[in-house]
Amino acid sequence: MAVFWYNKDMKITICASMKFAKEMIEAKKILEQRGHKVLLPEMAQPFAEGKFSLDNFEGGRTNAKFKKKYDLIRKHFKEVEKGDALLVLNYDRMGIKNYIGGGTFAEMALAYYFKKPIYLLNPIPQNLPYTRNT
């Protein structure tokens, strides 16, 4: 993965689907080697280590209770607010090129609200409800 960042000492918040937890950890290492502080979703490391899976995390009542109990969305929103910039790791997923899911889209909107620069690893996905068809 090629991640380039030229301003030193930035605090960069990484957002992505938890499907890409390992990639988040890899990007974090690269950015830290370049002198940046990196903020990740709280569950990225446990997902990368295989302690959790998407099967028991996404969708359904049990999973909503889990997210609510640990306040995961609000915690990562605070990381977005604390960061100097947002880096979205938008890889292909579920047959969608450069996938950006609902949670990541919400984090991007929050970063926009706080006037944070938003960087995408890949171009914006096409033909989704939030993209303009031209």
Give the pLDDT of residue 133. 57
Higher local confidence (pLDDT), 57 or 52: 52
Structure tokens of 128?
């989704």
Judge whether 108 and 35 are in contact, CB under 8 Å. Answer: no
The answer to whether 70 touches 48, Cβ cutoff 8 Å, is no
Cα separation, 47 vs 100, in Å, equals 18
pLDDT at 104: 94
Domain boundaries, the chain: 11-120
Task: Say what the pLDDT of residue 126 is.
Answer: 84
**Where do the DSSP E strands lie in 54-126?**
85-88, 118-120
Q: Is residue 68 over pLDDT 70? A: no
Q: If you average pLDDT over every residue of the chain, what do you get?
A: 86
> For the chain, give me the number of helices (H) and strands (E)?
5, 4
